[in-house]
Amino acid sequence: MIQLQVKGLTYSINSQKIVNDVTLEIKEGEFVGLVGPNGCGKSTLLKNIYRVYRPDQGAVYLDGKDISELSNRESAKKMSVMVQENNVEFDLYVMDMVLLGRYAHKKLLGETTAEDRRIARESLKKVGMERYEERSFLSLSGGEKQRVLIARALTQQAKMIVLDEPTNHLDVGYQYQIMNILKSQNITVFSSVHDLNIAAYYCDKLILMNDGKIVCCGTPSEVLTPERIRDLFKISAEVTTRKNGKLQIYYEPDSTLL
Amino acid sequence: MNKKIKEMLPLRSKAQYTAFVITMLLLLLLVLVVSVLVGSVDISPEIIGKVLVNHLTGRETFEPTWNKNTDSIIWTIRMPRIILAFVVGAGLSLCGILMQALTKNSLADPYVLGISSGASAGAVSAIIFGWFSFCGKYSTMFGATLGALLALVLAMKFATINNRITSTQLVLSGVAVSALFSAYTNFCVYHSNTSTDKVKSALYWMLGSLGGATWEKMFYGMVAFIICAIIVFFFHKALDVLMLGDDAAITLGVNLHRLKFCVILLSTILTGIIVSISGVIGFVGLVIPHMTRAIVGSGHKRLIPAAVLIGGFFMIICDVLSRVVVSPQELSIGVVTAFFGAPFFLFLIRKGERSFGGKK
């Protein structure tokens, strides 16, 4: 069943087309990675999907419904989002931060119930942060903050999660930890991924973008060929297969390409 | 001991929070009593008590052994003034909280953003030029609200870069907006050929004073404050989400445009009405929410009631000081709050540099 569908989405910033006629589909339960060089329009596409931007043309459908016809509350119940929140100035306890994930499920003046707390606790447990309930959010390390934000997204109990470079700025161990956490959840994942090896390791399907357009779409081995990596990322690459069947990409800097 | 207190904050359990609120209420009662007692005319506590009881019960419970003057000093001068001080302090704190959630920046408050100056410019226009006369006796309030709205929109517009408001941008655009509206107000006052009476009352708006308090003014302020506080309390959860940023608010399910519209509307109406009653009183909306966050945390459900109490309490104390320091003269209350607030503001800027030094 198709969960997320983007049809002919175009979005311009300062009359420059950042996302140009993008069409894509994500099926229920898939783990889909969005890859492409810096500035290719990944974040802008995602922002159109999670409603921070409104597409100039085209539309986004969630469970077959046009999201522009849904309220933010309704879409928050269907799709949770995790982006880096580095600019939070006001401190909250980790538990309170995670409980904000229940906002969409609350009516006006609806107070936090024991059930909300149970869900929040469960989410914290899923990301291995159950002991941090009483810690202040701003005192956490980058990796811990990311995990708390994932817990908040899980607390929304949506069937799908959209992430924008969830492993950015994290140590390598945390990068894999975050992806492991996402992989082990029973939800559809659509995430932009910076590191091609991580993308190849975790994603069922990759969508490769360049210059605001989708270049190709398929399994990691279909998408990540040495030629494409060379063309788009300006680096020579050797693509091999590991014992476990996953791709492994080795890079070889080549000054003539840049 | 000091360290122990620090470890306890912000208060976590419900019992602690309740204890804190009760303590604040008691302190408020205490400072209320002190405030009635203090003034250029010495009146014994016993007489004050009797006067109050007579007025509150609406009949002569006690035989009046005092003259009419004493009665009017207590009932028509001191009492409305004290309650107005509470309303102004509480209201400005609430405005500060709203503006901080709106800008996601703890330096925002009606004074820093120049909104009070906008309100005062609107009020002065109404007084000197007789604008908004279609509103009758509410023309000053209407003018002040309109001025506040204009100032807020201007300040937000110039403070926002790439959908974000940095502290630097916020303070800079606040300074500019404030300067612009103050210049206009000054211009109006100095170049108006109207009677000195009007100019005098315009000056009073610019400095900030509770001296002109009457029951009627107190009543308008109180009603506006209570209505705004109740509405704000209805969306306290949405404010928590808004505080995290616009993107987070949208993806967590907040109707962002409606919420921002409400916040802007309520905060400008409240600022406008308060400024039209008491003039420009600075820094309260900045200092009080900040202190309260340290004590009860940033969740608005707890923050709002606590900040309202602390704000009212603080303002009553400032009012007492303004009456005592240069007695029998009276200091404008804006001067007193600035003596507390400005150093605190500087402290916040320093602190902000340290904790967010690594970020853009």
Task: Tell me the C-alpha distance between B40 and B34, whole Å.
Answer: 13
pLDDT at B195: 63
Domains of chain B by start residue, with CATH = 41-353 (1.10.3470.10)
Average pLDDT value for residue range A38-67: 95
Per mean pLDDT, which of B42-56, B63-77, B300-314 is the most reliable?
A: B300-314
List the single residue in A73, A87, A100 with the smallest CB-CB distance to B164: A87
What confidence tier does A168 reach under pLDDT thresholds 50, 70, 90?
Answer: confident
User: Tokens standing for A113?
Assistant: 């119930």
Answer yes or no: is pLDDT of A170 > 60: yes
Chain B residue at shortest CA distance from A139:
B355
With the CA atoms of B291, B294, B295 and B297 taken in that order, what torsion angle do they form, in degrees rounded to the nearest 10? 120
Angle between helices B79-103 and B215-234 (to 10 degrees): 30
Beta bridge partners of A34: A192, A207
Q: Quickly list DSSP for A47-81.
A: HHHTTSS--SEEEEEETTEEGGGS-HHHHHHHEEE
Average pLDDT value for residue range B219-238: 94
What is the β-pairing status of strands A2-13 and A57-62? Answer: antiparallel
Chain B residue at shortest CA distance from A110:
B237
A92 and B237: CB-CB below 8 Å?
no
What confidence tier does A38 reach under pLDDT thresholds 50, 70, 90?
Answer: very high
B250 and A50: CB-CB below 8 Å?
yes
Answer yes or no: is pLDDT of B357 > 50: no
Whether the CB-CB separation of B205 and B279 falls below 8 Å is answered with yes
Whether the CB-CB separation of A132 and A148 falls below 8 Å is answered with yes
pLDDT at B273: 94
Q: How many residues does chain B have?
A: 360
Answer yes or no: is pLDDT of B2 > 80: no
Domains of chain A by start residue, with CATH = 2-224 (3.40.50.300), 225-258 (no CATH)
Chain A nearest-CA distance from B337, in A, is: 24
pLDDT at A258: 64
* More confident of the two residues A100 and B167: A100
A50 and B251: CB-CB below 8 Å?
yes
For chain A, the average pLDDT equals 92
What confidence tier does B148 reach under pLDDT thresholds 50, 70, 90?
Answer: very high
Q: Is B198 on the interface with A (CB under 8 A)?
A: no
pLDDT at B135: 84
Nearest to B291 by CA among B230, B347, B207: B347
Reduce the DSSP state of residue A8 to 3 states and report it.
strand
Nearest to B319 by CA among B93, B88, B69, B44: B88
Average pLDDT value for residue range B3-26: 85
Q: How much of chain A, in percent, has pLDDT values that exceed 90? A: 80
Q: Which residue has the tokens 């939800």?
A: A187
Beta bridge partners of A82: A163
Question: Alpha helices, DSSP H only, in chain B?
Answer: 2-8, 14-37, 45-57, 68-72, 79-103, 115-128, 139-159, 167-191, 196-207, 215-234, 236-242, 246-251, 256-278, 284-296, 300-324, 333-355
pLDDT at B202: 67
What confidence tier does B196 reach under pLDDT thresholds 50, 70, 90?
Answer: low
A72 and B250: CB-CB below 8 Å?
yes
B255 and A71: CB-CB below 8 Å?
yes
ipTM of the complex: 0.91
What confidence tier does A202 reach under pLDDT thresholds 50, 70, 90?
Answer: very high
Angle between helices B215-234 and B300-324 (to 10 degrees): 160
Confidence (pTM)? 0.90
List the single residue in B247, B248, B293 with the smallest CB-CB distance to A90: B293
Q: How far is residue B302 CA from its own chain's centroid?
A: 18
Helix or strand (DSSP H, E) at B164? strand B164-165
For residue A93, the 8-state DSSP code is B
pLDDT at A1: 87
Answer yes or no: is pLDDT of B353 > 60: no
Chain B residue at shortest CA distance from A96:
B299
Task: Tell me the C-alpha distance between A130 and B265, whole Å.
Answer: 40
Answer yes or no: is pLDDT of A111 > 90: no
Average pLDDT value for residue range A79-97: 88
Average pLDDT value for residue range A108-118: 88
A7-33, pLDDT tens digit by residue? 999 999 998 999 999 999 999 999 999
Chain B nearest-CA distance from A109, in A, is: 6
Q: Which residues contact B313 (CB under 8 A, 6 or more apart)?
A: B24, B27, B28, B31, B86, B89
Answer yes or no: is pLDDT of B9 > 80: no
Average pLDDT value for residue range A36-53: 94
- All residues of chain A having their beta carbon less than 8 Å from the beta carbon of residue B164 are 87
Average pLDDT value for residue range A141-158: 93
What confidence tier does A3 reach under pLDDT thresholds 50, 70, 90?
Answer: very high
Query: Choosing among B241, B251, B260, B349, which should be mutated to test the A contact, i.e. which has the most A CBs within 10 A?
Result: B251
B320-331, pLDDT tens digit by residue? 999 888 877 888
Answer yes or no: is pLDDT of B270 > 90: yes
Chain B nearest-CA distance from A79, in A, is: 8
Nearest to A139 by CA among A72, A92, A82, A103: A92
For residue A135, the 8-state DSSP code is S
> What is the phi-psi region of residue A165: left when phi exceeds 0, alpha when psi lies from -120 to 50, beta otherwise?
left
Nearest to B106 by CA among B243, B268, B6, B299: B243
Chain A nearest-CA distance from B30, in A, is: 32
Task: Tell me the C-alpha distance between B156 and B170, whole Å.
Answer: 8
The one-letter code for the residue type at B48 is I
- All residues of chain B having their beta carbon less than 8 Å from the beta carbon of residue A46 are none
A87 and B234: CB-CB below 8 Å?
no
- Phi then psi for A146, rounded to 5 degrees? -60, -45
Sign of CA dihedral B182, B186, B187, B193: positive
Answer yes or no: is pLDDT of A173 > 50: yes
Chain B nearest-CA distance from A99, in A, is: 10
Nearest to A144 by CA among A165, A169, A161: A169
Whether the CB-CB separation of B152 and B113 falls below 8 Å is answered with yes
- All residues of chain A having their beta carbon less than 8 Å from the beta carbon of residue B356 are 89
Would you tell me which residues 293-352 of chain B have a C-beta closer than 8 angstroms to some C-beta of chain A?
293, 297-299
A85 and B245: CB-CB below 8 Å?
yes
User: Tokens standing for B234?
Assistant: 């209805």
- All residues of chain A having their beta carbon less than 8 Å from the beta carbon of residue B238 are 103
Per mean pLDDT, which of A167-171, A205-209, A233-237 is the most reliable?
A: A205-209
Q: For the stretch B164-175, what's the b/e string if a residue is b when 16 or more beta carbons lie within 10 angstroms of its beta carbon?
A: ebbbebbbebbe
Contacts 24+ apart (CB under 8 A), A144-147: A145/A85, A146/A82, A146/A84, A146/A170, A146/A174, A146/A178, A147/A177, A147/A178, A147/A181
Average pLDDT value for residue range B227-249: 93
pLDDT at B358: 29
Strands in chain A per DSSP E? 2-13, 16-27, 31-35, 57-62, 65-66, 79-82, 160-164, 188-192, 205-210, 213-218, 236-241, 247-252
Average pLDDT value for residue range B37-53: 85
For chain B, the average pLDDT equals 87
List the single residue in B245, B252, B299 with the smallest CB-CB distance to A104: B252
pLDDT at A142: 87
Q: Which residues contact B23 (CB under 8 A, 6 or more apart)?
A: none
